[in-house]
Amino acid sequence: MLKKVVWEMCVRLASDVVKVCVTGAAGQIAYSLLYSIAKGDVFGPDQPLCLTLLDIAPMMGVLEGVVMELNDCAFPLLREIIPTADEKVAFSGVSAAFLVGAMPRREGMERKDLLAANVKIFKSQGQAIDQFANKDIKVLVVGNPANTNALICSFYAPSIPRENFSCMTRLDQNRAQAQIAARLGVRNDAVENVIIWGNHSSTQFPDVRHATVEISPGKRIPVYDAVKDDNYLKNEFVTTVQTRGAAVIKARKLSSAMSAAKAACDHMRDWWIGTQDNKWVSMGVVSPGVYGIEKGLMYSFPVRIQNKTWTIVEGLEINEFARKKMDATAVELKEEKDQAMDICKA
């Protein structure tokens, strides 16, 4: 009888552990990301975790070092670490996945070549998720081109609801929020409801027309009224956010790993725990056909989240300037989607 009670307690304890997969786990984004996940910044300060770390076979030696460091951190929440190059092992029983690993764009590589390389990766991972992951898994695609990679991954996981796949535009939101805060000389968290529309690319549209800023305790006004510079908000601000990734690479000689990892944590934390009050965040999700965006595109919208379910914030006024920007990034996404699907058919 005692053995049965102990066994049942062990089963309950095991079921309380959330299994999380990170791909590209030997890479530089994951190096920052894994620390925050294991520390409890994403799934909660009391949530025990099991991490499965997926990378390609040639990176297993590097991944072994990452595992050693995670062990040396002695995280109280981290119950198990499973490094692997096997997608079945990586995705079995997983409740949340950060798909960070992707083929990077190399010098001389055309965008269609990048799409072709990544279609194979995300097709395979989608199939593995479909077969082995929990059916309520939340999948965040970070690897670029993130929107189209997420779309392909969802297409090849037909047993998982499509709304359970999203791509990260939170980095762009964070960048836009920080630019406005710096312009106004306020804390970053004083700026709320910045929107990123469309693709995580240089066509994205950072929109602050519906954003607000707390300029003094208890006093919140529209960002446009605080900045008082329409030319800046329609030109320099937009361009700065659109090209920020390239600027970081030029200065650092490496991509923006720390800020990307932080944004991935922000994205999954809000998806897992929910957004507060009347705030919204930007996520790349499958378009249901709202705001004039073609149904089926993986497009970034403002969303609110409750009970791990996102809902697009509808009814926002779209002026002529915004309409042109939103349509331009949708055109790019449609081209990417068509190219990717053609590759899949081939």
Q: Tell me the one-letter amino acid at 223.
A: V
For residues 202-228, average pLDDT? 96
Q: In the 8-state DSSP scheme, what is residue 95?
A: S
> Residue 10 — very low, low, confident or very high, per pLDDT cuts 50/70/90?
very low
Do 130 and 139 meet the contact criterion of CB atoms below 8 Å apart? Answer: no
Q: Any catalytic annotation for residue 200?
A: yes
Do 11 and 243 meet the contact criterion of CB atoms below 8 Å apart? Answer: no
Rounded to an integer, what distance in angstroms lies between the CA atom of residue 289 and that of residue 248?
34
Question: Any known ligand binding at 143?
Answer: yes
pLDDT recorded at residue 33:
98
pLDDT recorded at residue 346:
62
> Residue 344 — very low, low, confident or very high, per pLDDT cuts 50/70/90?
confident
Mean pLDDT of all residues belonging to the chain: 93
pLDDT recorded at residue 255:
86
Query: Considering just the CA atoms, what is the radius of gyration of the chain in Å?
Result: 20
Does position 5 have pLDDT exceeding 60, yes or no? Answer: no
Torsion of CA 87, 309, 344, 335, to 10 degrees: -140
Which H or E run includes 131?
helix 111-132
Does position 52 have pLDDT exceeding 90, yes or no? Answer: yes
Among 172, 194, 199, residue whose Cα is nearest residue 328: 199
Question: Any known ligand binding at 142?
Answer: yes
Do 266 and 279 meet the contact criterion of CB atoms below 8 Å apart? Answer: no
Question: Any known ligand binding at 209?
Answer: no
pLDDT recorded at residue 254:
85
Strands (E) across 66-163 are located at: 78-84, 96-99, 138-141
pLDDT in tens, 254-311: 889 999 999 999 999 999 999 998 899 999 999 999 999 999 999 999 999 999 999 9
The hierarchical CATH code for the domain 169-345 is 3.90.110.10
Least confident of 22-26, 84-88, 113-117, 235-239: 113-117
Tokens matching residue 35:
């620390």
Question: Any known ligand binding at 162?
Answer: no
Domain range annotation of the chain: 16-167, 169-345
> Residue 111 — very low, low, confident or very high, per pLDDT cuts 50/70/90?
low
Q: In the 8-state DSSP scheme, what is residue 103?
A: P
CATH 3.30.365.10 is held by the domain 16-167: no
pTM over 0.75: yes
pLDDT in tens, 144-190: 999 999 999 999 999 999 999 999 999 999 999 999 999 999 999 99
Question: Any known ligand binding at 170?
Answer: no
Annotated catalytic residue, options 123, 138, 183, 200? 200
